Amino acid sequence: MKKLLVLALVLSMATMANAALTLGTSATQAAPGSDVAISISGDGSEPLGIFFLGIALGNPGALSVDNAVISYGGSDTSIMMFTYDDLDMSGQVNSPFVFVSLNDVPPPGTNQKPLTGTLVSSIKLTMGTGPATLILYQGDATTELGRVTVTTPEPVTVGLLGLGTLFLRRRK
């Protein structure tokens, strides 16, 4: 299985070009331990291939694809978690990280479906004790396509929100 994935990675690298994929999050700020949904969208100019999504080195948090949904209608798609044993990205992101394959092998005489709209949704980021920067890479594992940071509120802000809530409840 590992050899098949490496072969797919090598074959996809030949078709890579500059990216037009974007990362989206359900929140730009989240409390430690809470979940943030991540999505990957495209504008149609990115070629099909393999992509990797990870949390930047040293950032707390964890990714999960248990409830991830691939909306791209290609005939050869997959999403799974990878570790450094599968592909060494130890210089770029924490392990484990997300492997996404968005490919299409259309019937003869038809065109491949472009990467447009929401391609993947509901990748789960569980926040750690600090901000998490997510980075999306092309299949070559070196070309960065995009990044987004989800921050955690300062303890003082959380405390003030809690006091405000108590004050409002007491007022009623």
Using one digit for the tens of pLDDT, what is the confidence trace for 128-148? 888 999 999 988 888 889 899
Exposed / middle / buried, residue 32 (Cβ in 10 Å: 0-12, 13-18, 19+): middle
Cβ proximity of 55 and 137 under 8 Å: no
Three-state SS at 166? helix
Given a cut of 80, is residue 67 above it in pLDDT?
Answer: yes
pLDDT, tens digit, 9 for 90 and up, residues 3-31: 433 333 333 333 333 448 899 999 999 98
CA–CA–CA angle 148, 154, 158 (5° rounding): 115
Q: Where are the domains of the chain?
A: 2-171
* Confidence bin at 35 (pLDDT 50/70/90): very high
Given a cut of 60, is residue 1 above it in pLDDT?
Answer: no
CB half-sphere exposure, 4, CA atoms < 13 A? 2
Q: Which of 60, 91, 64 is nearest to 80 (CA)?
A: 64
Q: What is the pLDDT of residue 10?
A: 36
This prediction has a pTM of 0.74
CATH code of the domain made up of 2-171: 2.60.40.1930
Q: What is the pLDDT of residue 157?
A: 62
Q: What is the pLDDT of residue 12?
A: 37
Mean pLDDT of 43-55: 90
